[in-house]
Amino acid sequence: MITPQLREAQQRLARHLGDQLLAIHLYGSAVAGGLKPGSDLDLLVTVAQPLEDARRQALMRALLDVSAPPASDPDVRALEVTVLVRTDIHPWRYPARRELQFGEWLRESLLAGDVEPAMTDPDLAILLTKARQHSLTLLGPPAAEWFAPVPPADLERALRDTLAQWNTPEDWQGDELTVVLALARIWYSLATGEIAAKHVAAEWLLPRLPPIHRPLLADARAAYLGDTRQHLADWPERVNAFVLYCKAHIPA
């Protein structure tokens, strides 16, 4: 049941953002494809102005209290909260600028008081496209009205910019499951022009892979669905080979 956690997150956002808060949209697995055991609750939050440092720090600390590492608490999911300034995304431009991003992968640095500054983020093209396709409005207008359409060329640029981040084993070590499934989604999207849930993209890609790489992706898909324990970290050579194969064969 995610309603209590969402309500608490909304309350903290409202408390710390005040009259700067313009819109909140829930997107991702919660509204498209169904929540899986380790799925995050994904929120896009739009504000009117950039955040002062003190407000940024306080909001991050407040969100830590209503989030938990993936699959660590049966009643609390990991939150991923992306805060956008309205004028940074409307009118649309690429790459767009994000004001703030909260996620469980940042917990250790946030507890140490290290908060990232605002920055351009190619991934916003993907997030906003997903939100326009499938989202639940918690505050403000529907996402399809609130966010401008992302041109297909910018979506493709974002997918390829994401792909370019992964070059050596250090780039995916400790995050093997996320990267393997993200590669399946990128391949699916570049081949079809659509965005699919992680397990759907993996199922689509499986028969298109050489037999040697299929067991790894099948295991990643099963782990994402909660059918088995994740083993990918135990197979570094197989993960490395899979990532390099995808990078070499995803359509240009």
At residue 227, the pLDDT reads: 80
**Partners of 119 in the beta sheet?**
98
pLDDT at 229: 79
Q: How far apart are CA 204 and CA 189, in angstroms?
A: 11
Confidence of residue 52 (pLDDT cuts 50, 70, 90): very high
For residue 97, give the 3-state DSSP assignment.
strand
Q: Say if 157 falls within a structural domain.
A: no
The number of distinct structural domains making up the chain is 2
What pLDDT digit, counting tens, does each position of 114-147 carry? Answer: 999 999 999 999 999 999 999 999 999 999 999 9
Domain hosting 228: range is 165-249
Nearest to 246 by CA among 195, 189, 196, 194: 189
Q: Is a pLDDT exceeding 90 seen at residue 72?
A: no
Q: Is 108 a catalytic residue?
A: no
| Domain-located, residue 158 | no
Q: Does residue 47 contact residue 57 with C-beta atoms inside 8 Å? A: no
Position 142 scores a pLDDT of: 98
Quick check: helix, strand or coil at residue 112? coil
User: Which pLDDT band, with edges at 50, 70 and 90, does 238 fall under?
Assistant: very high
Same-domain status, 123 and 17: yes
Q: Tell me if residue 252 falls in helix, strand or coil.
A: coil
Same domain, 179 and 239: yes
- Based on the domain organization, do 139 and 202 belong to the same domain? no
Question: Are the beta carbons of 16 and 58 closer than 8 angstroms?
Answer: yes
Among residues 52, 80, 145, 170, the one annotated as catalytic is: 80
Structural domain contains residue 156: no
Q: Using 50, 70 and 90 to split pLDDT, how confident is the model at 185?
A: very high
Q: Are residues 138 and 170 in the same domain?
A: no
- Four-residue CA torsion sign, 239, 244, 247, 250: negative
